[in-house]
Structure 1
Amino acid sequence: LAGPAALTMQSAAPGTAAETPARPFTVLDAIDEYIASREAAGRMRNTLDSYRGHRNAIAQSPLGTVPADAVTPADIEAFRAWRRERSWKTVRRPGEVKDPDVTEVARAASNATVNRALMVLGASLNRLVKLGRLRENPVLRVVKAREARQPRVSLTKDEARRLIEASDPALRPLVAAGLYTGARLGELLRLTWADVTFGSGSGTGTISLFRPKVGNASRIPFHPRLAEELLRVRESRARKRGRPVPDDEPIFLSSYGRAWVTIGGAFKKALRTAGLEGRGIVYHSLRHTFAVHFLEGGAAVTDLQGILGHADLTTTQIYAHMVDSRTRASLVALDYGAPAATGDGADPGPAR
């Protein structure tokens, strides 16, 4: 069977006066198309910035100009060696939305950074395979470099309470939503009021979540305290404006009354106020926190899988291991102070 036709780019429609000879469709073209598709799918700006940073680093390398249908595993191995010797810092120009600058810095790139670049490259080529424009994805034949395992950080219930209370008024409902639903930040920031249904009587409700990371959607229940928080937000906005809040408005807005661009500064300030700074806690830690306490409450791993939207149960089982570790730590901490007995524990009593 014949494979896909050679990939080319053409600057004008065939037959027009401006038509120029077609040029090869390069790796960089594939990445640009992939980023555009992810932007159209609603990926967060920070994620797109990361993609563009890797894209601009690839543009500096020989791999960027290689035709997408001519890339070999050897090309990718050569890029990995080239990339490992260089580190790039993404710099956003004031007021610029797309194409942040990348500036080379004098240090080697970590295995994790190199793997992220290969992930962007692999996803870009995989998209072409799915569209029938490429026979195979050579990135799949390259083994990822081993990364230092980063511990998954979760908060105790008291720490979670302190973080909610330390968050500013705009951030607070977003922190509460992360802790009470386990949803990813990008999933929550896409929500509008039309996606939420408040229960009657019980004070609970449900949220419709779309998950572009795994391409699925589900409706999940949420806690009465989150229902209180969201109702308070909507009522407060309606009262300030003197009119009802429209259903198509985003639920979570920044202190400027606009969609969040980044929560980094506000989240760091909340961590500092709550005394949780320096622990490696990020917003995604709220997802870990939800998962751990959900399982500690007696829920099944399969229930958690459905709520978190994991396509693979093995991903969810990582949280079960976290709960096991915390259980073991709790058992070790049970020290009643009584020294161990000597002997074999048997007491024959007085001879008769």
Structure 2
Amino acid sequence: MRSAGLAQAEAFLEMLSAERGAALNTLDAYRRDLEDAAGFLATRKTTLLSADSDDIRALIEDLADRGFAASSQSRRLSALRQFYRFLHTEGMRGDDPTGVIDSPRKARPLPKVLSVEEVSRLLEQAESDIAQAGTDFEKRQKIRFRALLELLYATGMRVSELVGLPERVLADGGRFLIVRGKGNKERMVPLSGPARAALAEWIEARNSARLDGDEEPEWLFPASSDSGHLSRQVFARDLKSLAARAGIPSRLVSPHVLRHAFASHLLANGADLRAVQELLGHADISTTQIYTHVLDERLRQLVTEHHPLAKSAINRDEARNPTLARGK
């Protein structure tokens, strides 16, 4: 170590090795983290042993300034937390300067979203697959898949909610589904015309294949599985296969991506965020707000088209540069 705190840091590393069985690579990583921290603290005229909370905050800010990702900053902070807890436990410090430091927030990745055109291609391919089915059994399988796809895009259900729909799930003459989500909370979601038609065709095809004496189905999409209904893995596999046939990279398509598409397309067409929250079954609206990135372009267009000052600015720009007007 390059500053005071060397003996304490070495004692900490020995504890990790002896008591926790830390691997050599882990010990080397902790040593590098502590050495780097000691070097920065030296520029603030302090040491690992005497640093306070402001020093630790400045260290984390320095890591960010140096381009360290939030995950790397969090790992460095975790190493320091363990080091200072060790010092406190061993009576080498009376406090823990990392105790009041918040972990750096990781950037929340935007969800993958299919365009309306891409979803349309999936639905058209599912329809084409039915027409090309060779046997009655194959046709029923294709009709079932098309119904699942229509329901998923029409409702934004989680795939586990979709495949686990009970038989008696329709409400109000088939215009709504009663969905049981997380925490056994029920919500009603409306069905589009195409979804109702696809579901009705599936139920007719399924019932026509039933033999006399067969029990009433418990599930809307029954299958020979431990659960008695279609598994989400089978549906996800079939969805990727459909995407490939539709000319869409299968890595971009999953049941959850269609749930994202449902929410994003609603918001892009003017739906209220609270309504989308209810439809998705989100307990907290902050979870739904991840989809608001799709509103940026729509809001920009609204301001450009309807705000009088925005219009004036556009006209002024075109007057200064006639090329802009000709390019409209």
The residue aligned with 1:241 is: 210
CA shift in 2, pair 1:210/1:149, >3 Å: same
The residue aligned with 2:151 is: 177
Contact 2:239 2:253 in 1 (8 A): no
Contact 1:207 1:221 in 2 (8 A): yes
Q: Secondary structure at the match of 1:207?
A: strand
Q: CA deviation at 1:232?
A: 0.6
Unaligned 5+ runs, structure 2: 1-19, 30-70, 76-99, 130-141, 305-314, 323-328
Q: Secondary structure at the match of 1:171?
A: helix
Contact 1:165 1:172 in 2 (8 A): no
Moved more, 218-227 or 318-327: 318-327
Q: Is it true that 1:318 corresponds to 2:290 in the alignment?
A: yes
Q: Distance in 2 between matches of 1:309 and 1:277?
A: 29
The residue aligned with 1:209 is: 179
The residue aligned with 1:299 is: 271
Q: Is it true that 1:154 corresponds to 2:113 in the alignment?
A: yes
Q: CA deviation at 1:215?
A: 4.5
Q: Is it true that 1:259 corresponds to 2:230 in the alignment?
A: yes
Amino acid corresponding to residue 206 of structure 1 in structure 2 = F
CA shift in 2, pair 1:330/1:152, >3 Å: farther
CA shift in 2, pair 1:198/1:225, >3 Å: farther
Amino acid corresponding to residue 313 of structure 1 in structure 2 = I
Contact 1:194 1:247 in 2 (8 A): no
Q: CA deviation at 1:258?
A: 5.5
Q: Distance in 1 between matches of 2:283 and 2:118?
A: 30
Q: How many residues align?
A: 208
Contact 2:159 2:232 in 1 (8 A): no
Contact 1:296 1:323 in 2 (8 A): yes
Q: Is it true that 1:272 corresponds to 2:244 in the alignment?
A: yes
Residue of 235, 253, 256 corresponding to 1:284: 256
CA shift in 2, pair 1:207/1:327, >3 Å: same
CA shift in 2, pair 1:288/1:246, >3 Å: farther
Q: Distance in 2 between matches of 1:317 and 1:198?
A: 30
CA shift in 2, pair 1:243/1:181, >3 Å: farther
Amino acid corresponding to residue 208 of structure 1 in structure 2 = I
Q: Distance in 2 between matches of 1:267 and 1:196?
A: 24
Contact 2:164 2:230 in 1 (8 A): no
Q: Distance in 1 between matches of 2:240 and 2:184?
A: 30
Q: Distance in 2 between matches of 1:165 and 1:246?
A: 34
Unaligned 5+ runs, structure 1: 1-74, 86-110, 116-140, 333-337, 346-352
Moved more, 264-273 or 292-301: 292-301
Percent identity, aligned pairs only, is: 28
Q: Distance in 1 between matches of 2:316 and 2:215?
A: 66
CA shift in 2, pair 1:244/1:340, >3 Å: farther
Q: Distance in 1 between matches of 2:284 and 2:319?
A: 50
Q: Secondary structure at the match of 2:318?
A: coil
- Structure with more strand by fraction: 1
CA shift in 2, pair 1:238/1:320, >3 Å: same
Q: CA deviation at 1:339?
A: 11
The residue aligned with 1:220 is: 189
Q: Distance in 2 between matches of 1:270 and 1:330?
A: 36
Q: CA deviation at 1:268?
A: 1.3
Q: Distance in 2 between matches of 1:196 and 1:317?
A: 29
Q: Distance in 1 between matches of 2:215 and 2:297?
A: 46
The residue aligned with 1:189 is: 163
Q: CA deviation at 1:298?
A: 2.7
Q: CA deviation at 1:328?
A: 4.5
Q: Is it true that 1:341 corresponds to 2:313 in the alignment?
A: no
Q: TM-score when scaled to structure 2?
A: 0.51
Q: Secondary structure at the match of 2:252?
A: coil
CA shift in 2, pair 1:343/1:295, >3 Å: closer
CA shift in 2, pair 1:215/1:194, >3 Å: closer
CA shift in 2, pair 1:189/1:324, >3 Å: same
CA shift in 2, pair 1:149/1:236, >3 Å: same
The residue aligned with 1:164 is: 123
CA-to-partner distance for each residue in 1:146-184, whole Å, 9 max, x for gaps? Answer: 656433122222221211232461422211111000110
